Amino acid sequence: MTTELTELTAVELLDGYRRREFSPVEATRATLERAEEIQPVVNAFVRLDAEGALARAAESAERWRRGEPAGLVDGVPVTVKDILLQRGAPTLRGSKTIAEQGSWDEDAPSVARLREHGAVFIGKTTTPEFGWKGVTDSPLSGITRNPHDPSRTAGGSSGGSAAAVALGAGPLSLGTDGGGSVRIPASFCGIFGLKPTYGRVPLYPASAFGTLSHVGPMTRDAADAALLLDVIGVPDARDWSCLDRPSGSFTEVLAHGIKGLRIAYSPSLGGQVAVRPAVAAAVRRGVERLAALGAYVEETDPDFTDPVDAFHTLWFSGAARVTQKLAPQQRELLDPGLREICATGAGLSALDYLAAVDARMELGRRTGRFYERYDLLVTPTLPITAFEAGVEVPKGSGHRRWTGWTPFTYPFNMTQQPAATVPVGNDGDGLPIGLQIVGARHRDDLVLRAAHALYGTGDTSPGLRPAGS
């Protein structure tokens, strides 16, 4: 039963609780055992809380026994990226510069909503220092590895969450995404990841990376992500930039399908990106499945050139800001790559920053016009599959920073659009390939509908075990 329970989605677990086939305590115990099993292999967690999790699970089991669940995810095991505040657990953000001592008495908005809905918190997952790069290693917790091949990276910056979900250590996880940090590791690890429209999920404290940073679901499939978004996608007074309540349930729209939707398919952003043949072929097959399901698909490209310079200005400035108050001896503890971009960011002027804002606004204008003609855009999530662990860029790639191999992800943080990654197969080494679905701002529902439709066609779940298990 232990293995069975760790393979179930949140929707399936809830159905089992409802039918009294098993209890939240059994599911939580199985999840904790799984987390302990995978930790030496992939290093997905910075801490596990077995005692607290089992106590919450017991409370949930009693509510289910009475037929009075507390909310939409009562009793479901959940993990939280160690960027987000969680009451009773230190939030160290992958950094040796943050002291573990403290009251830690406040939840981030998304964590608070999960607590209200009865979720069972299993543990905090790994992140690179302050979430600064697209792979997950940090001076604090070391390297997080890919569940398909531990010699490869899990991606980042929500790499611990992706590895945990992929290997059955909780079906739901909260990640953050400032330039692809939900979608990159979800793609590399073969799970579903959604960056909602900016403001759909409130964020507190505000990110130093400003309005680039989103909170999003990392799950086994699109149905679980819709469920999680129904829980966390509501306003919180601490975030002045959050959106109003959605008009309906994201779960309820999944059944609407995609017949008649206008989908633009851009295999390489107009030739700007060199995509590996195995990735290109798998994504094209996914697009063909969307067309077979009744969508109108046209191969075309959005009207923009790579905005990496403007993104770097915004990103490096944010990094400089997050470390601004550190003493010189604390700076010596930082990830060397982070220290480097902080120095670059500190040297930028206000006019440099405003020029990047202008570039961002122009990008938003161009994509806004593009979505007057199309409902969705489909691209590869990444042009490559997972590379060697412990490095920021693939060896021999010629890239200087992680943005060199993530050209499909960060533009849509700049435009604040919803974007998801769906697994659509593996390459010749058995490494997952992701297909990215991007919607217009506020059309998270369409992104989830298209992703859910792909899950209905099969070939989206690798079904794996960690090497050596």
φ, ψ (nearest 5 deg) of residue 434: -110, 145
Q: What one-character DSSP code corresponds to residue 191?
A: -
Q: Which of 23, 60, 81, 213 is catalytic?
A: 81
Helix (H, G, I), strand (E, B) or coil at 413: helix
Rounded Cα distance between 372 and 383, Å, is: 27
- Specify whether 124 is catalytic: no
Closest CA to 193 of 167, 228, 169: 228
CA-angle at 385, arms to 384 and 387, nearest 5°: 105
- Count the neighbouring beta carbons within 10 Å of the beta carbon of residue 397: 12
- Specify whether 395 is catalytic: no
Burial environment of residue 453 by CB neighbours within 10 A (0 to 12, 13 to 18, 19 or more): buried
Q: What one-character DSSP code corresponds to residue 256?
A: G
Q: Which of 60, 138, 141, 157 is catalytic?
A: 157
Rounded Cα distance between 91 and 46, Å, is: 10
- Specify whether 138 is catalytic: no
Closest CA to 136 of 97, 191, 83, 65: 83
Whether the Cβ atoms of residue 228 and residue 217 lie closer than 8 Å to each other: yes
CA quadruple 207, 212, 218, 222: dihedral sign:
positive
Whether the Cβ atoms of residue 418 and residue 444 lie closer than 8 Å to each other: yes
Helix (H, G, I), strand (E, B) or coil at 66: helix
Q: Which of 181, 187, 207, 317 is catalytic?
A: 181
The pair of three-digit structure tokens given for residue 60, joined into one six-digit string: 């949930």
Query: Which residues are identified as catalytic?
Result: 81, 157, 181
